[in-house]
Amino acid sequence: MKHRADIDGLRALSVLLVVFYHADLLECHSGYVGVDVFFVISGYLVSQLILRDLDRGEFSLATFFARRIRRLLPCLLVVCLVTTGLGWFFMLPVDFQHLGTILMSQPFLAANLVYAKTTKFGYFGSTTVNYPLLHLWSLAVEEQFYVLFPLFLLYLVPRTRRLAAFAALFLASYALSAWVTASRPDFSYYLLPTRAFEILAGALAGQMVWRGALWFGELASWLAAIVIMLCGWLIPNGTPYPGTVALWPTLAAAVLLSLGAQRPSTLHRLLAWRPLAFIGLVSYSMYLWHWPFIALLRSSQLWKPHYGTYWCILLVPISYVSWRTIEQPLRRRSLTNKQSFGLAAASGLLLAGLGLLIWWNQGFPGRLPESARRLAAQEYTPNPYNREITLEKLQAGELHHFGMAGKTRLMLIGDSHTMAILPGLDEACKKAGISGLAIARSSTPPVYCVIRNTPGLSGQALRDFLAASQRKIDQENPEAVVLVGAWVGYQYQDGFAEGLAETIRACAAHGRRCFVMGQIPNVERKVPRALAYATWLHAPSQVAMPMEVQRKRNLDLQSSLANLPVTYIDPLPFFEGSQGSVAVERDGLALYRDEGHLSVDASRLFAPFLLRQLGLDGSSRPSLPKAR
């Protein structure tokens, strides 16, 4: 197959989009589409090699897989080993243990399945920086495809039906991707069935050669390149992906590949420019090396914004050296198929054994001092109340019970911040002889308002949930009802003020006392991990947050409570730190389990404070002013 320098240029474009996205450079907010382009290029090249050998009667599964091993394994193995070595010095135990799981998955081409199951909020969640081998999901998808694709061509598809078979599979995968992404984008991002259409688009492009007017090819090439660039910069944050949106960069890449086969345009000659083609040649090494260092520095709180520029500059010589000294030597050596499979088996055993050792020893927590281990553990301390109350559970009476058994005196309604308070509130209410119930659902406000792009309830589902909550309040008729939430995410939405007033009046009916607790202050980093790294690496924690920012937000909330039968509870005094900042640690304990939720230990400190504000701690109720 004739080498095409323009394909190297397209590879360069795709890898640079990914690198810029991960390094936060040039406002490349959706550079992850570079992986889609990679998939298309892979499908284009590999399918043509397979079909060529099939048509000549020379295709061998053993030779094909041996060639894939020599192409991909050497650099992948080195990157995994180097990342593991660095992880010993920079990864917290829980993250290092997860790295062990990924190493064990490598011989089985299953990294994508592990990430689909374990990454919270999917590929775009904040926890992905804790996974320095996250990018290996795409290699797993590719190789899963190439395990099945040759078998499909050999045994299921006659030569005359190839194009129709590729098109049918493309449409089926795309339809599945659109359907699954609409409901589970966190899941569909990583899986072969919802990604196969991108590789198949490349296979289809290899079967279609443009022989039309030169001017049309010229125009279509530039339009396709513009589409890829626009997708790399302009897909809005929060857009479900891949789904329907991924079709645009996929088709654009397929068009470029097909048009360049017979009549290269001006754009194809530009893509073949030697500096760009050079980046394409080393793109595999660049892709493998770029993410581990970014992830390790970010998760350990050592990353600075300007590091992205420095790292991209360093990445070019690192990728070249990797390509020259690791990739090329083994590809040029005349290894037999048996030797190639032996290398794969030895490498698989090494990675799986190393991963098992790390996983079995729970990430070797002894690497960290005791104080750092205690802080880090607070992010993952189990909360027995971390359970979503759905509408069905609410209607069945399966709520969060806390405190003593008996007549309900206190009810809390809110989102995940309610769950975070409950462990300590349970203990405090038992001491005070109080029985309580809580209705809590993540990302779901305790008042009706219009919220878009939310993982919680919205629209009619939110109305139904709140109506059922109110019926439960009327049924239990507690002394006090407390509304709890991450108010900054709700209070500036359409209909919030009206929904808040309606909820408060309903909660305060029949002589009940209604309270709104202000938002617990947010900080910019995950507190337990930031404090643990600061203790371990003797570095600044970088979690200071001015109290004034949260005070302003809570004042906006208080203004919404004017002339309503409600008492405002200000949580900020509990978090007063030094020099006007938010306190994040007390007596060696992190007050947060992430950026905004109380840790289980902190809930035990906060609960007595809350009961005093409610006047339910056995002392006389304080004279808290009505909101105004």
Does residue 628 or residue 47 have the better pLDDT? Answer: 47
Cα–Cα separations (whole angstroms), residue 414 to 483, 561, 592, 593: 6, 17, 18, 18
Tell me the residue type at 400.
H
DSSP string, 383-417: -TT-----HHHHHTT--EEEESSSS--EEEEESHH
Q: Average the pLDDT over 418-435 and give the result.
A: 94
Q: What is the pLDDT of residue 455?
A: 65
Give just the sign of the alpha carbon dihedral 594, 600, 604, 607.
positive
Per-residue pLDDT at 320 exceeds 90: yes
Does residue 50 or residue 578 have the better pLDDT? Answer: 50
**Taking Cα atoms as reference points, which of 346, 356, 272, 290 lies closest to residue 135?**
290
Tell me what the pLDDT averaged over the chain comes to. 90
Per-residue pLDDT at 305 exceeds 90: no
Q: What is the pLDDT of residue 159?
A: 85
Which DSSP state fits 626? Answer: B
Per-residue pLDDT at 228 exceeds 70: yes
Q: What is the pLDDT of residue 209?
A: 75
Q: What angle do CA 340, 341, 343 make, to 5 degrees?
A: 65
Q: What is the pLDDT of residue 2?
A: 79
Q: Average the pLDDT over 255-265 and give the result.
A: 86
Partners of 585 in the beta sheet? Answer: 590
Chain position carrying tokens 């064990």: 104
Q: Average the pLDDT over 173-192 and give the result.
A: 93
Which DSSP state fits 7? Answer: H
For the segment 459-508, what is each residue's pLDDT rounded down to a tens digit?
A: 788 889 999 999 999 999 999 999 999 998 888 888 888 889 999 999 99
> Could you tell me whether strands 410-414 and 400-403 are parallel, antiparallel, or unpaired per DSSP bridges?
unpaired
Q: What is the pLDDT of residue 537?
A: 87
Give just the sign of the alpha carbon dihedral 372, 375, 377, 380.
negative
Q: Average the pLDDT over 52-66 and give the result.
A: 93
Q: What is the pLDDT of residue 618?
A: 58
CA-to-CA distance for 609 and 258, rounded, in angstroms? 68
CA-to-CA distance for 520 and 606, rounded, in angstroms? 11
Q: Average the pLDDT over 43-57 and give the result.
A: 94
Cα–Cα separations (whole angstroms), residue 591 to 554, 583, 599: 19, 8, 6
CB 352 within 8 A of CB 106: yes
Per-residue pLDDT at 358 exceeds 90: yes
Q: What is the pLDDT of residue 588?
A: 83
Q: What is the pLDDT of residue 624?
A: 35
Q: What is the pLDDT of residue 83?
A: 98
Q: Average the pLDDT over 420-431 and give the result.
A: 95
Per-residue pLDDT at 221 exceeds 70: yes
Q: Average the pLDDT over 130-154 and give the result.
A: 95
Per-residue pLDDT at 556 exceeds 90: no
242 upstream amide cis, omega within 30 of 0: yes
Residue 475, Cβ density class (10 Å: 0-12 exposed, 13-18 middle, ≥19 buried): exposed
Q: Average the pLDDT over 546-564 and give the result.
A: 86
Which DSSP state fits 576? Answer: B
pLDDT band at 284 (very low <50, low <70, confident <90, very high): very high
Q: Average the pLDDT over 388-396 and give the result.
A: 90
Per-residue pLDDT at 114 exceeds 80: yes
**Taking Cα atoms as reference points, which of 147, 8, 166 lies closest to residue 68?**
147
Q: What is the pLDDT of residue 132?
A: 97
Q: What percent of the chain has pLDDT over 90?
A: 67
Q: What is the pLDDT of residue 420?
A: 95
**Cα 572 versus chain centre, distance:** 30
Q: Average the pLDDT over 359-372 and give the result.
A: 95
**Taking Cα atoms as reference points, which of 277, 276, 283 lies closest to residue 42?**
283
Q: What is the pLDDT of residue 619?
A: 53
**Taking Cα atoms as reference points, which of 457, 446, 447 lies closest to residue 412?**
446
Partners of 437 in the beta sheet? Answer: 401, 411
**Taking Cα atoms as reference points, which of 268, 231, 233, 223 lies closest to residue 248?**
231
Domains of the chain: 5-363 (no CATH), 391-614 (3.40.50.1110)
CA-to-CA distance for 247 and 177, rounded, in angstroms? 10
pLDDT band at 552 (very low <50, low <70, confident <90, very high): confident
pLDDT band at 148 (very low <50, low <70, confident <90, very high): very high
